[in-house]
Amino acid sequence: MKLVIISDTHCQQIPVPDGDVLIHCGDHTFQGNKHESHEALLWLERLPHKYKLIIAGNHEVKWESPTFRQFLFKDYKTLTYLHETGIEINNIKFWGSPYQPYFMGWAFNCTRGPVLKAHWAKIPDNTDVLITHGPPYNLGDTNGRDPRFGDEDLLRRVLEVKPTIHCYGHAHHGYGERFFEGIHFINAAILNEDYMIANKPVEVEI
């Protein structure tokens, strides 16, 4: 199964290689309003991948409302939105969560410690591909302007679960693939810190 992984496109519609499963790790938009959201999701809807899995990012402010999400996704038949939920495709178990440590008052922010740890505890032990917006600590979690902002509790939980792949974005400067403790960590942020297209989608077989 070929995965194509992207994140942090922020209203940009980039060339995306074909594959079996397209994953977008959040920050589709700048503000997550109705217009931006529909433009971003319509672009994804038109892509040819059989499965398209998406989560929200901190810029999807309006998406924090369950009512808005229900209204938003009713028109898109080929997109699967994961919100602390999972899906199994060809015996591969995917799980997605939009949360991250508090960052500049944006969406899906949580305080570090028990609050975030409770979210990570929901990640099933049998997850094969974990999709979060924020990175784990010290694995592609810098943006060049702020201190390292990956979450240590997320890293601890990932090392407990041991998924084959953990993919994310949020930290534009941290783009790239890393391997640690037998896990393939992927920061798939497409835009750089100046919100210019700088990186390519990550393609990986699982």
Kindly state the percentage of the chain with pLDDT values over 70: 98
Domain residue ranges of the chain, discontinuous segments joined by +: 2-205
Q: Model confidence at 99, in pLDDT bands (50, 70, 90)?
A: very high
- Kindly list the distances between the CA atom of residue 157 and the CA atoms of 59, 106, 118, 138, 193, in Å, as whole numbers in the listed order: 25, 24, 10, 14, 28
Instruction: Quick: pLDDT tens for 12-68.
Output: 999 999 999 999 999 999 999 999 999 999 999 999 999 999 999 999 999 999 999
Instruction: Quick: pLDDT tens for 144-172.
Output: 766 678 999 999 999 999 999 999 999 99
Give the fold, CATH level 3, of 2-205: Purple Acid Phosphatase; chain A, domain 2 (3.60.21)
Q: What's the Rg (C-alpha) of the chain?
A: 15
pLDDT at 143 over 90: no
Q: What is the mean pLDDT of residues 190-195?
A: 95
For residue 74, the one-letter residue type is K
Closest residue by Cα to residue 98 from 86, 112, 113, 82: 82
pLDDT at 11 over 90: yes
